[in-house]
Amino acid sequence: MVRIDPDRLLSDLKQLRSFGATGPGVVRLALSPVDLASREWLAGRMTEAGLEAAIDGVGTVFGRSRKSGPALVIGSHTDTQPTGGWLDGAMGVIYGLEIARALAENEATRHLAVDVASWIDEEGTFSGLLGSRSFVGENVDETIRDATNRQGQRLADVLATAGLAGRPRARFEPGRQVAYLEPHIEQGGRLEAAGKSIGVVTTIVGLRELRLRFTGQRNHAGTTPMAIRRDAGAALVAFIPQMNEAFAQLADADTVWTVGRIDLDPGSLSVVPGAAQMYLQFRDANAARLQAMEDRLAQLVRDFNARSSISVELTTIDEPMQPVTMHTVLADHLARAAEAVAPGQWIRMPSGAAHDAQVIARCMPACMMFVPSIGGVSHDFIEDTAEAHIVLGCQVAATAAAAMLEEQWAKRS
């Protein structure tokens, strides 16, 4: 069995953490100066590992194996949320780097090719999953031209200032790149609750993002009687329990929905809100259920508009993401590796979060594996995973990676 170097793995992870370290967490927004510095460092580490490494025209760091034969791509992302944890995405990239080195150092596996990727902007500072979307051949030129971050910086200008505009972009190589593996922290509490160390992902959930805008009438909060108010804020608040009840009737144990933001206009204590809007997201692994939820929401809006003096408008914020099933053969490789390395310590489970793997699955077989998140916390400075689980997960991933590639070599012999 190929063996990883735990000390080297953890050292690289901690060095990457130093780029943007903020207390126990990391602030490393995509294409910020500290993110660009970390990408230069990562490209250097890939080069030291014998890979042909470069930062491409959208900011993805891609390390291409110099070896012939079928290649396994291993990766994730190294950009963070505004208040991010140190392992979200970053762990999977450093796993890829360590697995490429470990395979090269083992006589029986040194012929196996591993490409390593740190996809740009998975977290959506400018445009979510940008690097993987570019890799699979999606035309992202319009996105690059139009996308801005919260500070109003244009993506095109940031790429130009960084010297990346016009560089070649990493692209899928049909026939050579045969599969994709994305290791990741769970970002939830299932593994910890079950007392397990490894999650073999079955499906990445789909999601819908919508906005509901309630329009009433602004008026004086002191002189307008309750009976004649057209209070958009109160209408929004009253709508949410109806929506919760309707969704609960459709949901199963893995269905989730979140009102992540509410805006009131004008937002003054002395003014009855004339407009209010809420931003809603719901996720599920079943495409039919997602559609049923959207249909039920639309019906609720129609019913509300038919009986109320306040109007509601439902609009889609972004293109729907459909659920993506992970490749069963690759998932079985992960399961066998987990059983070999950590007998009885693994389960199959869905991913409730979006990942680059769901994009990469458009062009080649893809799989994911999880290690536990302490307390189920992610997207927060206190996100963490026990070092023993980090090391164990990398050993499982390395064992599976070798088996996946050896199977590909056997098919071609």
What is d(CA 164, CA 172) in angstroms, rounded to the nearest whole number?
Answer: 19
The confidence score (pLDDT) of residue 34 equals 98
pLDDT at site 319: 82
Cα 4 to Cα 24: distance, rounded to the nearest angstrom: 26
Domain 206-316 part of CATH 1.10.3720.10? no
Domain residue limits, the chain: 6-205+323-412, 206-316
CA 123, 153, 145: angle at the middle one, nearest 5? 85
Residues 6+ apart with CB under 8 A from 218: 265, 266, 271, 272, 273, 274
Q: State whether the Cα torsion 216-217-218-221 is positive or negative.
A: negative
Q: Which amino acid is at 86?
A: W
Q: What values do phi and psi take at 287, rounded to 5?
A: -65, -40
Q: What is the CATH number of domain 6-205+323-412?
A: 3.40.630.10
Residues annotated in a binding site: 77, 88, 123, 184, 379
Binding residues for Zn(2+): 77, 88, 123, 184, 379
Read off the pTM: 0.91
Q: Could you give phi then psi for residue 365, rounded to 5 degrees?
A: -55, 135
Per-residue model confidence as pLDDT tens for the chain (413 residues):
899 999 999 999 999 999 999 999 999 999 999 999 999 999 999 999 999 999 999 999 999 999 999 999 999 999 999 999 999 999 999 999 999 999 999 999 999 999 999 999 999 999 999 999 999 999 999 999 999 999 999 999 999 999 999 999 999 999 999 999 999 999 999 999 999 999 999 999 999 999 999 999 999 999 999 999 999 999 999 999 999 999 999 999 999 999 999 999 999 999 999 999 999 999 999 999 999 999 999 999 999 999 999 999 999 988 899 999 999 999 999 999 999 999 999 999 999 999 999 999 999 999 999 999 999 999 999 999 999 999 999 999 999 999 999 999 998 87
